[in-house]
Structure 1
Amino acid sequence: MMGTLPSGILVSALLKRVNDSGGMGMVRARGDAQSGAILLLLNENNGTSKVMERALDLLGKVILVETGPADPTDAIAREAYWRRRRDRDPDLWVVELDIPSAERFAAETIASG
């Protein structure tokens, strides 16, 4: 993704922001430090989670797009989904966040980078 910070720096910044705010973030799979895609597992307090990915919109702006299993409570399907994606793309970063408003943290850091 041209014009954006390297993936490794974006992931590090996101983890630092989340951890500094009292949440927990961890890298489930380390991807290419320069240009690896970033897949986010965003856990909510109610037991649900979203899977989102950094992408480009039609104008070339970085956005977060919801992807993955339709059922936000199916942890087994979520785990299988990211593992399949990782098998097909070894440069993929997989980052899990456990903090209230995880999507906001991700958007402010990943989509602005």
Structure 2
Amino acid sequence: MDELKTDFWATALMRRAAIAGAFAGVTRKGDTDAGAVLVKVATMNGKARLYAPARDGEGERIWLDLSAGSLGDVEADVDAYVRKRADNDPDVWVIEIEDKFGRHFLMERVDSGAA
């Protein structure tokens, strides 16, 4: 099955968050067809988690919780990582979800980014 276009996928993620009572928005728009997406989840207390797409051993899309590794969950550190990534990849999207419960609304499996 072909991958969904990034703008369509991002809209669906933000809609899932809105239906559940969270706020979600695009803080950086990249390539509309095939840009990678970083998903930041801010809990509005100075903490945040960052999720990045990856593939598992069978080629299925998964998400890595980068905050589980050395990045950590301090929102300022997450924001600095996102800025650095965006500076190096003009096609990357950033979706920010504000949810005091820390829900990410991703449908695919989420794995720890820690090694």
Which interval holds the TM-score relative to the shorter structure?
A: 0.7 to 0.9
**What are the Cα deviations for residues 66-102 of structure 1, in whole angstroms up to 9, with x where unaligned?**
2255331x22211111011001001001011112352
- Structure with the higher fraction of residues in helix conformation: 1
Q: Does the CA-based 8 Å contact 2:71-2:77 persist in structure 1?
A: no
Give the aligned partner of residue 92 of structure 1. 92
Equivalent residues in 2 for 1:1-113, closer than 5 Å: 3-44=2-43, 47-67=46-66, 70-72=71-73, 74-99=74-99, 100-103=101-104, 105-106=105-106, 108=107, 111=108
How does the TM-score come out when normalised to structure 2? 0.81
TM-superposed CA distance for 1:19, in Å, is 1.2
Distance 2:14 2:103 in 1: 11
Secondary structure of 2:15's counterpart equals: helix
8 Å CA contact retained: 1:43, 1:102: no
Letter in 2 for 1:36: G
Q: Secondary structure at the match of 1:102?
A: coil
C-alpha displacement of 1:53: 0.7
Tell me the residue number matched to 2:112: none
Number of residue equivalences = 106
